[in-house]
Amino acid sequence: MRRFDLHQALAEKKSRRLIFAMVVMQVATVVLCSAFISLTFATIYFCCYPETAFPNFAITYFSAATTAVGVAFAIFAGGYMKMSELDGGGHKVAESLRGQLVDESDPHLRKENRRLLNVVQELAVAASIPAPPVYVLTSEPGINALAAGHSSEDAVLVVTEGAVRHLSRDQLQGMMAHEVSHIFNGDISRDMWLTAATHGNYFLLVTAQEMARYERYDMISFEAWLGYMLMPFGYLGACLARFFTARVKHQNEYLADATAVELSRYSQGLSEALMMIGGYEHQGRIKRKEAIQTGHMFLVDSGTGWFGLHPPLNERIVRLRPDWDGYYLYESSDELEHYGGIYREVTELVGLTKKATRQKELKDVATNIAPMMAAGLETGPVGQRSGVTAGGTETLRGEGCDEVPRWMAHDPIGAIEIDEVYRQLVESHKGAALALATVRLDQFSSEKQAELVKTLNPLVAGAVGKILPAVSKLADDQKLWLFDRAIETVVDAPDLIRSLLMDFVQQVSVPIDEETDLSRWAWQRIVSRSMNRTTAPVAQVGDLRPLAPEVMILLSTVTHTDADGEALSQYNFMRAIAHTGLKRSVLVPHDQLQVADVEDAMERLAYLSARQRRILIVACTASVLANRSTNLEEAWMLRAICEGFNFPMPAVLPGHEFAANA
């Protein structure tokens, strides 16, 4: 946002005009109501006594004055009752919403709530106001927040649990800067008066409805007739009060957005929070019925009440981020956790029905472990993690060696038949590093293998040379199983082992522009990125359409890894496209695809929101399993994609057959 001071001045000017118009509307409602009822009584009196002049001024003036006083009293009484309810200030509002106070002294305070308190305290210092108490609306999945109170002395902040859980720190800071701005600008006091004014008009409507229900001796009474005459003005006043409240709230929101930029000096946080809300399935909706009266106080529409009480999200985002591409984001959800929704969708798409029943000749390589131990590469009993430390921190593995892996599914149905020695090998840091090295060398020809082994560190070359012949005889699914378990173990290896492994990676690396084998590219990408973890890029694109060319390259590459004729390739490709929702699709010819193009597409697609990356992974899996099976190259490709997107790996191993669910 450029020149937030101009946005602030414009919003304040429009807000003052709207408040004046709302006061005029209240007076006009009283005048119109009294005029209508007085003329109605004058007409009735003239019909009963036609000899009198029309209108009878005594009747007209008396009924007009009585009606004006009654209507004004009803509006004032309704507003006064609401203000009496809110005498406790912001705490009363928070308690009416059943919010739970976040106590900083609580020893069991969750880290998410502590982060929230830290953000609020930082913003309070920037605004030079006391840090307001914070309440959390538990069991509210929507992303929303409000500030309430008469002044900064009794102000409170109320945040939904969905916002605390799903927003990053920058996004949460932007949201809370907006709410602190309401306190800083005095909007909270104005919101309380708007709540009272709206409730006053609503009380007039309720009074008219109750009077209309009053009957006497099975006939409509005078009170009922009066209620029917008041009812249209009750509806009119309630609608107009809500309308002007919405318009005033629009300007207050624009003012708070501009002030939030001033306080945080970072417009991206609030804009990304609004983009997250727009893309989230619950958006900012509040389930509590108590939110009806305070709906205008929230950051975004709470889904209660009449009219849109807040400006459209897209208008607010464009003011904060003029270069916004128009697509919303959503980055965090329970369904995106490891072993969550992605596996449910994949298993709904295709189901595992039987185990592989290949006959394999298992080679016991126990004798080949001896050179490894002699070279000083094994420091503990077979099958246990050694006590080597890295940076003073123990790297002992817990007892649960069968725990679910952190990033990838390994043989979930137990179909892999592999000798126990390999299982023991990948349990140690150094054994896992050797397993990765042997799987890598197995991807080259025999001549190239011998050439590479000669260039390796002597500590590694001897052990690798002994294990490589045995690993070369393993089946494809066994090799990938070995790789999966090894990469899981080696990511937290001591510095010495990590250094040796990275030296090995550099020695056997193939430049991307010269690489033609997807299996080698996948190994190089996964190991390099796993050993050199970097911060994931911030999601900048919430829709696949802006990156449609990159999507076509990725899906075409996956499709061509198991090409068996043009017709089948097109079928597999369309199976993948069906999951993306893209209306236009082009299968890139195999001879026009290069590994460098795939690498570039992966880097660009990493900026997608988590939901869109999830869609792409399911689409890739659909293409791979369109023929009810998967080969080695497809399995490697899926691993590289999932690693690049920071997603768990679907339970896909080469050679295992799949069948569609009934």
Catalytic hit among 104, 140, 161, 179: 179
**pLDDT over threshold 90, residue 591:** no
Check if 179 is active-site.
yes
Question: In this structure, what token pair is assigned to residue 582?
Answer: 């893209």
**Considering the chain, what percentage of its residues have pLDDT values greater than 70?**
77
Cut 0.85: pTM above it: no
pLDDT range class, residue 54, cuts 50, 70, 90: low
**pLDDT over threshold 90, residue 192:** no
Quick one: pLDDT at residue 367? 37
**Which run of H or of E encompasses 75?**
helix 57-85
CA-wise closest residue to 232 among 209, 258, 210 = 209
Quick one: pLDDT at residue 574? 87
Q: Report whether 65 contacts 34 (CB < 8 A).
A: yes
Cα-to-chain-centroid distance, residue 483: 32
List, for residues 60-98, the tens digit of each pLDDT value: 777 778 777 877 787 777 777 777 766 667 888 888 888
Question: In this structure, what token pair is assigned to residue 545?
Answer: 């359409």
SS3 215: strand
Q: Give the lowest-confidence range in 31-45, 246-260, 408-422.
A: 408-422
Average pLDDT estimate for 32-40? 78
List, for residues 318-334, the tens digit of each pLDDT value: 888 887 877 777 654 44
**pLDDT over threshold 90, residue 514:** no
Domain extents for the chain?
338-354+537-659, 366-508
Quick one: pLDDT at residue 454? 84
Topology of the domain covering 338-354+537-659: TerB-like (1.10.3680)
Q: Report whether 32 contacts 233 (CB < 8 A).
A: yes
Quick one: pLDDT at residue 184? 87
List, for residues 243-258, the tens digit of each pLDDT value: 777 777 778 788 888 8
161 or 491: which leads in pLDDT:
161
Q: Per 3-state DSSP, what percentage of the chain is helix, strand, and coil (rounded to 5)? A: 60, 5, 35
DSSP string, 19-31: HHHHHHHHHHHHH
Average pLDDT estimate for 197-201? 75
**pLDDT over threshold 90, residue 564:** no
List, for residues 340-382, the tens digit of each pLDDT value: 344 444 434 433 322 322 232 233 333 333 333 233 333 233 2
pLDDT range class, residue 534, cuts 50, 70, 90: low
List, for residues 255-306, the tens digit of each pLDDT value: 888 888 888 877 788 988 898 888 787 888 888 877 776 777 788 888 755 4
257 or 646: which leads in pLDDT:
257
Measure the CA–CA gap between 509 and 260, rounded to whole angstroms. 49
CA-wise closest residue to 403 among 427, 419, 422 = 427
**Considering the chain, what percentage of its residues have pLDDT values greater than 90?**
9
Strands 134-137 and 156-160: parallel
